[in-house]
Chains A and B, each alone.
Chain A
Amino acid sequence: MQIIKKFFKTKESAVILMFVVLFLGTAILQPALLTYPQLINLFRTISMSLLPAMGMVFVMTCGSIDLSAGSVLAFSGMLSGYAMVIWGWHPVFAVLLALGFSVVTGLINGFLIAKWGLTPMIVTLGVQYVVRGLVNVITKGVAISGFPESFTNLGQGKAGAVPNPIIIAIVAFAICLFVYNFTIFGRSIISTGGNKETARLAGINVRAHIVGAHILCSVLAGTSGILVASRLGSAQASACGTADMYAIASAAVGGTSLMGGSGSIVGCLFGVGIMELITIALTLIKVDVYWQRTVVGVIMIAAVFMDIYRRNSSQRSGS
C-alpha cells in the first residue's frame, strides 16, 4: 500500500498509468501488439523520438524552449550524409562534424537567449528557419543516399536481438536521467527555471547553464538526426519537419512544465511512449491513418490535464 501511495505522489504517476492503460487496452483489442516484431517496432520508434524529447526536457526545465530541434535533426543527418557521399569522409568524422555543428547551433541559441535576453521562442524559431534553409540550400531539395555500410549499420544493425537505436537510446536515457537528477548541472538547470534571480543570487551561473541546456538539446537532436539518416539509408531535406513540436509535446505529456522549474526524464520516456504507442495502436486496430493526429492531439491534452489536476490537488493539500 505504502509503495502504491508513494507512486501516486510522484509526478510521473499520471503518465505511466496512462501508458499502461493504453498498452493493456491495445493488447486486449489486438493481441498482435504483443508479438516480437511489433514490440521491437514500438521500442525502436520510441528510441528514435526519445533523444530530442529528453533534450527538450532540459531546455524547458531551465525556462527556455527550442523550436530549432527539428531543423538541427534534419541538418545533422544531411550533413553527415553529405560529408560521406560527396566529400568521401570516413563515417566517424562525418558524424563528429554533424555533432560539432549541433553544438554550434545550441551555442548560438543559448547565447542569444542567455546573454542578450532575447525571447527563446523567437530566437529558436529564427534559427529553425535559418538551419532548415541551409539544408535546402545544400541539398537543393534532393535526398542524399548511398551511405557506406558501416554508417547504415548504426541505425539498421542489431546487437543480438536488440536493434542498435534501442541500445543507443537506453544509454542516452541513463546518462540524461543521471545528469538531470544527480549532478550540479541538472540541479542548477532546475533551479534556474524555478526562479532565475534566486538562482543567480545563490551563486549559480545562470547564463552558462542556459547555454549548456541548449547545447545538450541540440546534440541530442543532432544524434537523433544521424540515427534517422542511418536507419533510412538516406538524408532528406524535408526530414522530421515537426520533430521539435513532437519533442515539446512528449516532454509536456511527460510532466515537464512549459514555465520551467520542473520536469522529468522518466516522465518524458513514457510521454514519448504514449505518443508512439497511439500511432502503432491505431494502425493495429485499423483506424484510418488520417485520424491519427487528431487522436494524438486529444490524448496530449488529456495527459496535460491529468498533470495539472494532480499538481493542483497536491498544492492544495500542501498549504
Chain B
Amino acid sequence: MAEKKKIMELKSITKEFFKNKALDDVSIHVFENEILAICGENGAGKSTLMKIVSGAYAHKEYSGEIYVDGEQMHFEKPLDSGMAGIAMIYQELSMHLDSSIAENLFLGEWPGRRGVINDRKMWEKTRECLQPVGLEDMNPRMVLRNLSASQQQLVAIARALRKNPKILLLDEPTSPLTINESERLFAILKKLKANGVSSILITHKMDEIFENADRIYVIRDGKCVAEHNVDETDRDEIVEEMVGRKIDNYYPKEEVEIGDVVFEVKNVTVPHPFMKNKNIVENVSFSLRKGEILGIAGLVGAGRSELVGGIYGKYPRSGGQIFLNGQEIHIRTPEDALRHGIALLTEDRRADGIISDLSIRDNIVLASLKKFCRHGVMNDKSQNEETEKIFNRLNIKANSISVPAFSLSGGNQQKMVIGKWLMRDPSIIIMDEPTRGVDVGAKREIYMIMTDLVKRGFSIVIISSELPEIVSMADRVLVISGGKITGTLEKGDISQKTIMRLAV
C-alpha cells in the first residue's frame, strides 16, 4: 500500500483529573480517506480523547500536541477545532427539540442580514444540507421533536457536514439507530470517505467496526494498547485487548428448569403518545414462565418499550388484562406493579433510571424505602448493610456506597439500577436494553446477574436491539413490529435471521 497522508496526528496526549490519569501518553494519527475506529470499555478514556480533539478541553488543560495537516493546533474552544475542519457528533443528542430542522442545522449561524434571519434562504440551504443524509424530502420547518431518534441523529450529522469538515468524530452514533438506519449511516460515511473526509468512530459494536472501519485503536485505562488494520485482526482479539483479559464465554447462559406460567398479559393496547386515534401497541398478549428469560425483539420504534411501559404503569394503557399466578391484577401506577413484584429496568437510565445527585445507596434503596422504616422514619444502619450486600454482589466499582451516582461509569450505573430493583426483591424483572451504553466487561456481568436471577426462580423479560444478546440469552423470543406481535420463536428456532425476518 502506498504511503498515506496523515491528516491529523495526536502526540503523547495526557489528561489528568486531579490525580487520576484519564489519558496517559496517547498518540494516534488519522490518515486521509479512512474510517478509524476507536474502541475501549466505558471509562477507558475515549470520550475524553474526543473532547480534546473537538476542543471541548482547552489546550492548557492537558499536555501533548495536536497536528492537523502537519500544523500544530492550540484549541481553546470547540469553535477552533471546527475552524480546523473537525466536526463532532456527540453521543447524546445535542439538539434543540422544540426548534425546526432548519434552525437546528444553522444553530448560531442563521443566515440573514443585520440580525434579521432570512427564513426562505435558510430553508433552501437546509434542503441542500439534508441531501447527503437522505432526508431531502423532509420539511425544513418541521419541529425536531416530531422526528424519530434516528432522523434526529441524521440531522445532527447533516449539521456537522454543513461546514465541509475534513474529519468527522462520531461518538456511538448508532446507539439510537435501527439496523437499516445504521447501514444507511455507514453508507454515508463511506461516500464521505471517497470524497476525502475521514471519520473517527467510537463504538462498542464489533460488527460495525469489522464491516466498516479501516483501522482500529484500542484504548484501555487511558492508554492506547493496540493498533490494527481491520483485515489483520479479529473480534476476539479486540475484545480481549479492550478488557485486558480473555473472555471465554461471552454469554454465560445456563439451562434452568422452566416452570409454570407465572405472568400473563392479554390484549394490551397502549395509545400513541402524540398521535390521536392511533395505538403504538395493539392487542399484544404473551405469557412468562418461572425461570424463563423471554426476549422481546423488534426494530426501534416497534413499540417494545411502550408495551412493557404500559404493563408497568409507566404509560397509560387503553386496554388489556394482566394475570399474576392466574389471578387478575390491576396495575395503574408503577407503585401497583412493584407491589405485585414486577420491576422495570428502563431503556434510558439517565432519563428515568438514576438520580444522579444522590448517592449509590440512596439510589439503590429508592424503590424499597418502606422496607427500611418504622412509622416513616428511615433506619440508616439497615439501609447501609443491605445496600452493601447488593453493592458487593453486583460488583459495582466505586470507592463506597456514598459516592454520588453521576461519578460512576455507564456500566456501573446500570448495575446500580439493577441493584435498586433487586433490593425490592421482585419476582419478575423486565429489562429494557439492559446493556445499552455498557462496556464489554460490565455487559458480561449483567448477563451473569440475569442467569443468577433465573436460577433463583425469577422470571425475566429482556428487550434488546442487540440481536446476539437476545439470541444467546433468551429461552423464547417474541418479535414485535408496528405494535403487534408478528411471531414467537421457540428455543430451537431463535437466530438473528429468523428474528429479522419477522421484525421488518
Contact = CB atoms under 8 A, between A and B. Distances in A.
Contact of B314 (A187, A201, A318): A201
Among B339, B376, B406, find the residue whose CB has the most chain A CB atoms closer than 10 A. B376
A261 interface: yes
B154 interface: no
Given A201-B334, A205-B335, A261 B352 contact: no
Interface stretch (B190-198, B250-258, B367-375): B367-375
A199 B17 contact: no
Given A194-B357, A202-B420, 19 more contacts: A183-B376, A184-B370, A185-B376, A191-B362, A197-B351, A198-B353, A198-B354, A200-B333, A201-B346, A202-B338, A203-B339, A203-B367, A204-B335, A205-B335, A315-B406, A316-B18, A318-B407, A319-B406, A319-B407
Given A190-B358, A315-B406, A197 B352 contact: yes
Among A188, A194, A198, A204, find the residue whose CB has the most chain B CB atoms closer than 10 A. A198
B335 A203 contact: yes
B151 interface: no
A188 B358 CA distance: 12
A79 B346 CA distance: 49
B377 A199 contact: no
Contacts of B353: 198, 201
8 contacts: A182-B380, A184-B377, A190-B358, A191-B362, A194-B356, A202-B338, A316-B17, A319-B406
Kindly list the 4 A-B residue pairs having the minimum CB-CB distance in the complex, ordered from nearest: A318-B407, A194-B355, A197-B352, A202-B367
A204 B366 contact: yes
B352 A198 contact: yes
Contacts of A184: 369-370, 373, 376-378
Contacts of B370: 184
A262 interface: yes
A213 to B, nearest CB: 15
B355 A195 contact: yes
Contacts of B356: 194-195
A211 B407 CA distance: 31
B64 interface: no
A interface, over-half SS? helix
A200 B334 contact: yes
Contact of A261 (B314, B355, B369): B355
Given A184-B376, A198-B352, A261-B357, A191 B366 contact: yes
A317 interface: yes
B441 interface: no
Interface residues of A, number: 26
A318 B369 contact: no
B482 interface: no
Nearest to B366: A202
A137 B130 CA distance: 61
B262 interface: no
Interface residues of B, number: 36
A190 B416 CA distance: 18
A199 B369 CA distance: 11
Nearest to B339: A203
A198 B355 contact: yes
B403 interface: yes
Among A184, A195, A199, find the residue whose CB has the most chain B CB atoms closer than 10 A. A195
Contacts of B338: 202-203
Given A191-B358, A201-B344, A316-B18, A182 B352 contact: no
A195 B366 CA distance: 11
Interface string B95-110: 0000000000000000
A199 B366 contact: yes
A220 to B, nearest CB: 19
Nearest to A257: B357
A318 B403 CA distance: 8
B358 A182 contact: no
B357 A183 contact: no
A204 B346 CA distance: 16
Contacts of B352: 195, 197-198, 200-201
Interface in A304-319: 315-319
Contacts, number: 85
Interface string A186-222: 0110110011011111111100000000000000000
B366 A182 contact: no
A195 B335 contact: no
Interface string B279-319: 00000000000000000000000000000000010100000
A185 B378 CA distance: 10
B404 interface: yes
Contacts of B357: 194, 261-262
A202 B377 CA distance: 19
A204 B367 CA distance: 7
A205 B335 CA distance: 8
Contacts of B333: 200, 203
Nearest to A195: B355
B382 to A, nearest CB: 13
Contacts of B366: 191, 198-199, 202, 204
A185 B335 CA distance: 16
Nearest to B421: A202
Contacts of A316: 17-18
A200 B309 CA distance: 13
Interface string B321-362: 000000000000111011100001010000111111110001
Interface in A213-267: 261-262
Contacts of A188: 369
Contacts of A261: 355, 357-358
A188 B367 CA distance: 10
Contacts of B18: 316-317
Contacts of B355: 191, 194-195, 198-199, 261
Contacts of A203: 333-335, 337-339, 367, 424
A107 B376 CA distance: 21
Nearest to A201: B334
A188 B369 CA distance: 9
A316 B15 CA distance: 13
A195 B344 contact: no
Nearest to A319: B407
Contacts of A262: 357
Contacts of A205: 335
Given A182-B377, A198-B353, A187 B404 contact: no
A315 B352 CA distance: 21
A179 to B, nearest CB: 9
B310 to A, nearest CB: 13
B377 A317 contact: no
Given A194-B355, A199-B355, A201-B352, A318 B406 contact: yes
A115 to B, nearest CB: 14
Nearest to B334: A201
A201 B305 CA distance: 14
A262 B357 CA distance: 7
Nearest to B417: A198
Contacts of B378: 182-184, 187
Contacts of A319: 17, 406-407
A191 B405 CA distance: 13
Contacts of A199: 355, 366
Nearest to A200: B334
